[in-house]
Amino acid sequence: MNEKLKIPSVYIIISLIWGSTWLAIRIGLESLTPFLSAGLRFLVAALVIYLLMLIKKLPIQKDKMALKLYLQMGFFSFIIPFGLVYWGQQFIASGLASVLFGVYPFFVAIFSKIVMPEEKIELVKIIGMVLGFVGIIFIFSDNLDFKLDSDFLGMSAVLLSGIMQSTIAVTIKKNGKHLNSLSMNLIPMLLAGIVMTAGAFFVEDLSRVKFDFKAVSTVLYLGVFGSVVTFTSYYWLLKRINILLLSLIAFITPVIAMLLGWIFYNETLQNHHLIGSGFVLIGLLFANLSNIKLKNKLYTGLR
């Protein structure tokens, strides 16, 4: 496939899969505890990546920068951020968590401007980002009640997760261009799988765990599609497109999750859901406006 077609196709695939992972996590937690579910997910992902690397005869890259990034990704892309989100959602509603995690693109913009001044962030991209965030607020406007005194820690955990993941995304964009997308994920996901699975035995009540069809199918789906396909594709895209455009996936996934909840859980779609989704779509259009204009100029020049 031509790379110009491959890039938007991969972007759409990542958005659809990550949008569906919220539903898969929700189903899986009916049988598993949060840390155990996440840990098994990453162990499955690490095993699949290792097998793919054996088939493709890809070596594990072991240069100094690669080893440094593996550790940073393991702790700051997976272990701590996923732990914070799972822990934080014990205290706050999922809608509020989605809005709070919406800080991710903003901090990507801030950190990329500091670390990579050559990474262009045009005004239309900022406008698109703001419109997308407004859309997320609209979508979850009926689920934003909170009490600062009791919900502060949960809110802080989700915010910190978004900020942490934005810093590591910028770090990888700057320093990880030489890494293969599979090799890049193997050790971090293995670390996350071991730490979170082991942690479940210390901090969770495993007496309610059931390894039934829901547990096994969701762990496999989240491991193979929600982790291997998405994260390897994400880092493949990270080398090829503007990091701010890539970060806007954080606004698309809640919309997809909402639609899947409507389809599979008979959740009601209300006017503010549709208005919010419209804002997200308009925001994405604005964010891509400069790319559309550039393509039109190139097309006009070629005629």
Give the DSSP letter string of 107-136. HHHHHHHHH-TTS---HHHHHHHHHHHHHH
The model's pLDDT over 241-256, given as tens digits with 9 standing for 90+, comes to 888 888 888 888 888 8
- Residues 122-146 have a mean pLDDT of 79
> Residues 261, 93: contact at Cβ < 8 Å?
no
Q: What's this model's pTM, rounded to 2 decimal places? A: 0.82
Which phi and psi angles does 160 have, rounded to 5°?
Answer: -60, -35
Domain regions of the chain by residue span: 3-302
What letter would DSSP give residue 240? T
At residue 1 the predicted structure's pLDDT band, cuts being 50, 70 and 90, is: low
Which phi and psi angles does 116 have, rounded to 5°?
Answer: -130, 75
Residue 34: CB atoms within 10 A of its CB come to 21
Residue 274 pLDDT: 84
The answer on pLDDT for 76 being more than 50 is yes
Nearest to 63 by CA among 183, 165, 162, 143: 183
> Residues 39, 199: contact at Cβ < 8 Å?
yes
If residue 178 lies in a helix (H) or strand (E), which one and from where to where? Answer: none
**Strand, helix or coil at 211?**
coil
Averaged confidence pLDDT in the chain: 84
The answer on pLDDT for 39 being more than 90 is yes
The model's pLDDT over 155-203, given as tens digits with 9 standing for 90+, comes to 888 889 889 999 999 999 889 888 898 989 999 999 999 999 999 999 8
Residue 194 pLDDT: 96
Residue 279 pLDDT: 86
Based on its alpha-carbon atoms, the radius of gyration of the chain, rounded to whole angstroms, reads: 19
